[in-house]
Amino acid sequence: MEHIIYRNADNGYTVLNLVSGEEEITCVGVFSAIAEGENIEAAGDFADHPTYGRQFKVESFEERAPEDEEAIERYLGSGAIKGVGLALAARIVRRFKEDTFRIIEEEPERLAEIKGISERKAREIAAQVSEKRDLRQAMIFLQQYGITMNLAVRVYQTYGQEVYGIIRENPYRLADDIDGVGFRTADEIASRVGIRLDSDFRIRSG
């Protein structure tokens, strides 16, 4: 992911530049949560846009962990992680090489070995990397039930990692806990989840 050209925050529609080998490809599609510098494997078809030319329409994609030092450095220095710029990203990767992400996730205190990173900042960097991974997984989960990007972010901010159990067991809680979500929206989600029409949760919410 070289550059995000356009992004609609409401529905996740995104136009971006993807570098594949020596080729730079303009991609369009709906992306749950994504940042410049990330690696993805995308499936779809090429199409010719009358104004913008050849584009790759992404129908599905999977995130791939950066596989080499250059990709890891590009991701860390892309602005995706607050407080880590290009110079600091380069120092981190120079020290830990392809083991960088494992160090961040499993031994974050070792980041403090890098000049310019305190123990507190090391913990903050690790927390951000973990939070972004968790948020992305939650966005993908929520969107399969027809929840828009904007609402998905608010749902995750409200429930955190509890979101999976709440959506599967009682999505009517959204109508109680989140401003702007009413019974009808919760009922549509519940229908997609497969909750029965005579569910006690549905009756109480109604």
Whole-number Å distance between alpha carbons of 37 and 192: 34
Q: Which two tokens stand for residue 56?
A: 């790759």
Whole-number Å distance between alpha carbons of 153 and 158: 9
Residues counted in the chain: 206
Q: Which two tokens stand for residue 63?
A: 């995130």
Q: What are the start-end ranges of the H helices in the chain?
A: 69-76, 86-96, 100-106, 119-143, 149-159, 163-169, 173-177, 183-193, 200-205
Q: Which two tokens stand for residue 174?
A: 């959204």
Q: Which two tokens stand for residue 134?
A: 């968790």
pTM: 0.59
* 109 three-state secondary structure: helix
pLDDT at 144: 82
- What CA dihedral angle connects 148, 150, 154 and 157, to 10 degrees? 100
Which residue's structure tokens are 């083991």?
99
pLDDT at 148: 77
Whole-number Å distance between alpha carbons of 201 and 195: 9
pLDDT at 32: 67
Q: What is the pLDDT along the chain (206 residues), one digit of tens a residue?
A: 888 899 887 778 899 999 888 889 999 988 866 777 778 888 899 999 898 899 999 887 777 766 678 878 888 887 778 889 889 999 999 999 989 989 998 999 999 999 989 999 999 999 988 888 888 788 878 878 888 777 888 899 899 999 999 999 999 999 999 988 999 999 999 999 999 999 999 999 99
pLDDT at 87: 92
CA distances (Å), 171 to each of 122, 153, 185, 187, in order? 36, 15, 10, 8
| Radius of gyration, CA atoms only, the chain | 20
Q: Which two tokens stand for residue 84?
A: 């880590």
